[in-house]
Structure 1
Amino acid sequence: MARNLKLPLEMADGTMVRANIEDLRKHFDMQSVLGHFISGKLQKWLENNYYDEEAEKISALDKDDEELNKKLCAILGVEYTEIDKTDIDNLQRINEKKAILRQVTSDTTVIDNAEWVAFDQEELVDLLDEDVTTIYLYGDKFSIPIRRKDMTYIGVNNPQISINAKEYKEIGDNDIKFVNVTLPERLQPIQAKNKTEYKSLDFFEWINQKYGEKEAKAEKLYLENKFEESIEIFKNEAKSGNLRAYYFLVDNNINAFGSLYRDKEYEIECRKECLKSDDPTVKVQGLYVYPKETGEFENEFSKIKDNLFKQALEGDPFAAFEVLCLKWDNYYEVPEDIMEKCKHIILLHNHCKAINRLGVLADENGNHEKANEYYFMASKKGYPMGQYNLAVNYENGQGVEKDLATAFELYKAAAEKGMIDAIYKIGICYYTGYIVGKNHNEAIKWFKRGAEKNMFRVKLCWKMLLLG
């Protein structure tokens, strides 16, 4: 029987502790462990990894016990150090915030960042004093200081904002970005003819204004990894003349998730449509029809570079991903400061394809633990490629304790979403009995599914099985 996916414990140093209590001891920090204790994750982690004695002792602890910290350390076998009672109160407050936020939003990015959510002006001041640069706002009204530069404020419930600025330009000049908030009328940005100024708008609201409600809905679904549902909308949008939709038809054709298979002729046709767009994100997708060595890409890219960088830095996660790819794929030497800002944007929007790519780069550089952190982020959001890559590392014990059962679960999750390499892997597992028992019927089922996606090696396996 397949086991439930074991979620790791994240520590303050970024380590994801998987299944070994020695790793927990090595990377132990009291605040993280207290947080996992209060949320119940610590006990669950111990139970899932068969540390039954420790789990039973943890379950008996009282969060109001004055010697809680000392007892936690004793149970987990680490040296005890003092921690201020206010830290425990803070952790409890974070969990209270998460409980409230779950009632008003399904956005896991907001919930996961509950520590940086201000529920009133006093909490906003505290976060500003801690030099936090991205702050979420949940409340009726907040007063924002204009003197604090390079800040991002994200509204949870579209709060009213007051800020001591005479015109919107002052906000932009100070690199202050507002998302999903209501600004005073005098500070509403004047939309340029090409509608690329949207620093004070939610990204999806900007898409809605420029391309319409259906496009905005489809792009949101796409970021949520609901590919088949979004692609149907994009196809209809493309038919009605919306050129931005072709960007996603190209991207999804490359991935070939869901019931789709990669059709290179169709992909080229869509790229040619992208070339007709004045949206730099879409245009750059079209430029890849030009062979790199001819110089045509470089020549055409020079005409849109500034607009692409501008759109990326103003918050378009797809533009940000394209900028990152320019450097990763050796098409253009993007300045490091722009690369870092684009990474922040793709993480802010949970752009899982980009996050997975960060994992691949870390893997290539031999930093498997960091790679697994990125893969886990993408996998947690249901991104098939992230699930597959995390499975590979679980199978091979790279950056994580080898765990074939967890690897199989992840392979199967990716296969069920149509990831072709995962489909092949599951078929092979059932055919050979690797990880799971041999199951001829299951092997045929998965190979048939892969064959329908036009995957040659799976077609071959399917035919061989049918022939006996």
Structure 2
Amino acid sequence: MARIVKFALEMKNGFQARNNINELRNHFDYGKIVGYFTDGRLVRWLANRGYEKEVTELESLNVNDDDFKKRICEILQVDESLAYDEDNVMDEELLNRLEKVRQYTADKTILDNIDKVATNQKELLELAEKNESEIYLCAESFVIPLVVENVTYIGIGNPTAVIKSSHYIDFAESNIVFKNVNFNDEYNKICDEFLAKEEIQAQLAEDSDREADGEMLWLEANEYEDTDKEKYIQLLKEAAALGHSRSMFDVGYYYEKDEENIELAKHWYENAIQGGESAAYTRLGHIYKEEKNYQKAEKCYKKAADMGNEYGMYYLGLFYENIRCDEKTAITWYRKAAELECVPAMSILAYYYRSRKEYNEALLWAEKAAEKDYADAKILIGTMYYNGEGVESSYRKAFEWYENAAKDGSDWGMVYLAGCYERGDGVAQNWSKAYEWYSKAAEAGNENAQEWLEENGSTEAKKIKQFSENAIAELCSVIIHGRLENGTKIWQEEGSRSDGDFRLFNYKCWDVNYTRKKCYSLKEPFWSKINEYNELSIGMGYYPNIIDSCQYIVFTTKRVYVQDEDGNLHYCPYSIIKDVILENENKLYCKLEDESTWWLPDSKKWINEIGGHSMRMFLLIMGKIFGECEYNFSMNEITMLSKVKLESLGGKSILEYM
């Protein structure tokens, strides 16, 4: 069972910000931020995580200030353009409700749940219609809708609950609970007559107070969990002494995990069980399983499962699968847990059905788990798309699922993503990206990634990782122009046009908008490809005849594109080039790794404009750096390349990277 953590702030698209301020920035929702600022949760959230500077600045703000939006965006370091005026903010009615409640309490739990507070009868009925399980009653008299069951009413400012009944009601039967709430005189009289003895009434009040006090101490304890363990345990034990079962569980978990005192952990878990805490059975099951006391472990898991604990069901399934070798019973419990939204159970069911080639069922459960950001399920979906299991095979979709899992921090997601970059599956082959993700997986402890790095982590591989996009752009311009970025000429350029008329090579990458501006007649297929593979332009040209102005050649960081006079798009990735042939000074073609051939359309035209030897040299270099090009440069070519020293690589020669 997961540990209790600090409260989260719900941001855009339901994202739960729990850990740091970057999560607020990355999922910024201005409307919700205003609401959290207004009710005080934003300041407490930041203070709990040590953002003292931001807290100080926020405390000087007033939501009615003319420059409030600008200042709060500056404090949180968020682009003000993300703060849309039409975003929903806390409405005026809720603000009025909050202002009234603050007259009676500063309790953060209540203020954090202002949308569950009723300050008049109308608001109470609206909350009851929403089937709220907890409703706060503030300072008024409220007629309680007795037909609504399973509600806890909590009083603020000494409210009165008016019970319209001529007889005593056992609210426990309807699971209706009142805390810090007075009843109307008529109903109090009925209660007095029914209970008869003041001692019984006092005992009931004492029990209620003990429960409320235990809950408050437990909430207070959780504020110290990460900052002051001694205070945390002290408050938990005080709450446990009042009979608070969750506090007993948390004390047991502390002794099990932090102190590694198993006997004390067992003692506290057993106390929690007496208070009805089903998760304590699950923890005891883990302990007995580690001690190889399988009979007791099974009994504990079964007790938790019988009490409706979904994780008890899940771990009981694992027990039957791995200890009892009873797959049929295991699957039964996995399904029961999954139906109660236990995410690991959903994922393990998906893997089970996939092993039986029941792909529809596998995908169903995997998608349910993936919706809850479970990385293993995302990897499974990616693999099913990769292999075409129950779905149409799609390397691109596989890549996207692996990337999603990797960004969630899954080491295996990182390994699968790195493999896609290494092979070019669903994405342009990119050795540097593969190296990067294998390295991240290795840092996360993945042994497969560590073995890969041992085999491939050579000096050459590290050099490729250093080869930036701007270095590619600079290399392209140096080769085409025949001069370094600083103006030093290293050989005679070949093309027939001047730089201003044709040769759009400027030693730096261009983004898509610049490319669109210069190549306004390029057809849609080009833009779809360059966006799909996230490419940057490094050099481009057009045939200057105004009649044929639709003809372009564009070099990007990953491939070369040509749009012919009919508007057809042709392209070739650098990573699959094995050799480049310049034939009779008017034809240029590439031999590819699959033994096929890619011809440069209108070769003679582009050779005349750019230079055949320059284009050939650049394509060979890119094939060697990012692919498996087998060409060996001649001594004359090596002499020429020794002069190509790039500022983007600290003045190093390109020969060091081949």
Give the alignment's TM-score, normalised by structure 1: 0.44
Structure in which a larger fraction of residues adopt strand: 2
Structure in which a larger fraction of residues adopt helix: 1
> Which structure is higher in RCO with an 8 Å CA cutoff and minimum separation 6?
1
Give the alignment's TM-score, normalised by structure 2: 0.33
Structure with larger Rg:
2
